[in-house]
Amino acid sequence: MKRLLVALLVIFIAAIAALTLIRRGATQPSLQAPGSSLPRTPDGQPDLNGVWQVLTTASWDIQDHPAKLGVPAGQGVVEGDEIPYQPWALAKKQENFKNRLTADLVEARGFLPGVPRIMYMPLPFQIVQTPKYVTMVYEYGHAVRVIYTDGTKHPEGPIEFWLGDSRGRWEGDTLVSDVVHFNAETWFDKVGNFHSEALHLVERFTLMGPDHINYEVTVEDPKVFTRPWKMSMPLYRRKEPNVRILEYEAGALMEEDAEKPEEQIKSK
């Protein structure tokens, strides 16, 4: 009888253990090699094709900031929430803030916002990916940016582009983009965080799943900052049926608004 009870007890414990393992298998994701479940292009790279958009307030201010009229409160995207300005540059940033309504060429004249700011404008953009290049088509200003992944080098400078010159490579499942040749006219946000023409960016686009890209950018500018610093944020895939890039031509809209009769402008 004792042996029978012991045998039944062993069977009961084994059954409980088996049920526990089954439940764990049902509730926990299976362990897979990193990137094994990512959508991929025919040449084997993570598939970045699609329409993407950020959900941060970095366009207003890349650091932590409270709400103000017309400005939503936001958590910063800067690593450590600190921008390492040189003393003269910090004073310049504060001057930019005071004069932001006219000094920010995006807000005042509808110019291109530069990189990385165009990546986190509150408007969508589309990625078109091929083996030789990754093209980004932005709703803001009809801007088009090409990251060449064909092994070609940056052209010799100095050259002052609004969006810089981007040359990319794949490091595993991460697209790494090296960007140089900027002008000094663009800011990082609306509050006056700025750079010089010596700006050098290293962007990293890592597909985390079918609908999320982790975007990280290292900022280096020895004329303005005491050391390199980083920003990061997720990009979200737009999932609406038939989603497409529309247009927001800020400069043209400003000109159109300026031509309206004063009474019509006041009535808006």
Q: Which residues sit opposite 207 in a β-bridge? A: 213
**Residue 112 shares a structural domain with residue 158:** yes
Residue 44 lies in a domain: no
**Residue 9 shares a structural domain with residue 62:** no
Cα–Cα distance measured from residue 168 to residue 41, given in angstroms and rounded to the nearest whole number: 17
Range of the domain at 24: 1-29
Cα–Cα distance measured from residue 81 to residue 199, given in angstroms and rounded to the nearest whole number: 20
Residue 123 lies in a domain: yes
User: Mean pLDDT in each 10-residue stretch from start to end of the chain (268 residues)?
Assistant: 43 42 39 65 96 98 96 97 98 98 95 97 98 97 97 96 98 98 98 98 97 98 98 98 94 89 62
**Residue 146 shares a structural domain with residue 18:** no
Residue 5 lies in a domain: yes
Q: Which two tokens stand for residue 121?
A: 């404008």
**Residue 70 shares a structural domain with residue 6:** no
Q: What is the pTM of this model?
A: 0.83
Residue 267 lies in a domain: no
Residue 209 lies in a domain: yes
**Residue 5 shares a structural domain with residue 126:** no
**Residue 65 shares a structural domain with residue 103:** yes
pLDDT at 261: 77
Report whether 206 contacts 79 (CB < 8 A): no
**Residue 67 shares a structural domain with residue 24:** no
Residue 63 lies in a domain: yes
Residue 38 lies in a domain: no
Cα–Cα distance measured from residue 66 to residue 78, given in angstroms and rounded to the nearest whole number: 16
Q: Where would I find the beta strands (DSSP E) of 149-239?
A: 165-171, 174-180, 200-209, 212-220, 229-237
**Residue 104 shares a structural domain with residue 6:** no
pLDDT at 91: 98
Report the C-alpha dihedral over residues 75, 77, 79, 85, rounded to 10 degrees: -100
Residue 112 lies in a domain: yes
pLDDT at 87: 98
**Residue 22 shares a structural domain with residue 101:** no
**Residue 246 shares a structural domain with residue 163:** yes
Helix H or strand E encompassing 95: helix 87-98
Residue 235 sits at φ, ψ, to 5 deg, of -105, 135
**Residue 233 shares a structural domain with residue 170:** yes
**Residue 182 shares a structural domain with residue 235:** yes
Report whether 213 contacts 53 (CB < 8 A): no
Total count of domains within the chain: 2
Report whether 181 contacts 158 (CB < 8 A): yes
| Residues shown for the chain | 268
